[in-house]
């Protein structure tokens, strides 16, 4: 991410590199292994998108449609600094990376954020997750500065995306601002709940250390008995005992972070170009 991709004033609110590094070390090898597995699963599940894609469809009725697709100009992620779900946090960020977005800006909202002062509480697990994902910059802002950033990016960089995780105090204002700017926005305000096949019931996702996965964990690829019936069938996400540290947002994949343009035209000339 280059300096020109965001306003200069944002530098004063960046999380220090030392804090990111310390969070990574403090998590320990076991915790890092859990999040690395989550990242690996997300890479395989969603797949990496091309830098640019053009497809042309020719219809029997004598017309064609050409679709051009490229990464969003930026992806702004906003969540409370104390958001306690590092794997769901990663599961929101990774689709933007896989979509090819260069300008990824994670913002942690804190009422104590200001230039030159110690930042408000930011979960070390979230900072470690950023390090593991290869995202080098994150910012801590108050409500007013977060709204100013969204307006600056949304007003000056068409084709961006906004994702809200948890319930940051400025959430309602940001959603309204996104509507005003026609900035595509996805809000995920509720705690991430999934159907736990090991327990046979819905539970809220929590950070699970690698030491949790002992000899009793189900073997990969082996179907295990479960209970839950209708609750399991209605759940958007089900995880077995070997994947309780992972997460995927079924409604938030790389396609959300891609910009598309469509041209509909009549006929094709020789060589497949528009007549």
**pLDDT of amino acid 225:** 46
**Band of pLDDT at residue 96, cut at 50, 70 and 90:** very high
Alpha carbon distance 72, 70 (integer Å): 7
**pLDDT of amino acid 229:** 61
Most confident of 6-15, 19-28, 69-78, 236-245: 69-78
**pLDDT of amino acid 273:** 57
Q: Across all residues in the chain, what is the average pLDDT?
A: 85
Q: In the predicted model, is pLDDT for residue 118 greater than 50?
A: no
Give the tens place of pLDDT for each residue, 168-194.
888 889 999 999 999 999 999 999 999
């Amino acid at each position: 991410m280059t300096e020109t991709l965001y306003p200069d004033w944002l530098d004063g609110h960046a999380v220090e590199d030392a804090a990111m590094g310390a969070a990574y070390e403090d998590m320990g090898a076991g915790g890092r292994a859990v999040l690395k597995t989550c990242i690996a699963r997300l890479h395989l599940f969603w797949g990496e998108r091309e830098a640019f894609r053009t497809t042309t469809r020719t219809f029997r009725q004598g017309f064609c449609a050409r679709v051009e697709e490229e990464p969003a100009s930026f992806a702004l992620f906003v969540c409370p600094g104390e958001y306690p779900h590092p794997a769901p946090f990663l599961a929101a960020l990774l689709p933007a990376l896989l979509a090819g977005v260069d300008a990824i800006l994670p913002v942690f909202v804190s009422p104590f954020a200001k230039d030159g002062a110690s930042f408000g509480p930011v979960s070390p697990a979230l900072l470690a997750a950023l390090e593991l994902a290869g995202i080098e910059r994150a910012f801590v802002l108050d409500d007013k500065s977060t709204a100013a950033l969204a307006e600056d990016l949304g007003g000056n960089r068409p084709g961006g995306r906004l994702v809200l995780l948890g319930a940051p105090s400025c959430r309602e204002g940001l959603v309204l601002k996104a509507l005003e700017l026609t900035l595509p926005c996805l809000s995920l305000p509720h705690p991430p709940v999934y159907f736990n096949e090991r327990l046979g019931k819905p539970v809220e996702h929590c950070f699970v250390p690698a030491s949790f996965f002992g000899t009793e964990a189900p073997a990969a690829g082996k179907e295990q008995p479960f209970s839950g019936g209708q609750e399991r069938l209605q759940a958007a996400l089900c995880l077995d005992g070997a994947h309780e540290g992972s997460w995927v947002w079924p409604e938030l994949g790389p396609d959300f972070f891609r910009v598309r343009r469509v041209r509909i035209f009549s006929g094709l000339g020789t060589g497949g170009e528009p007549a």
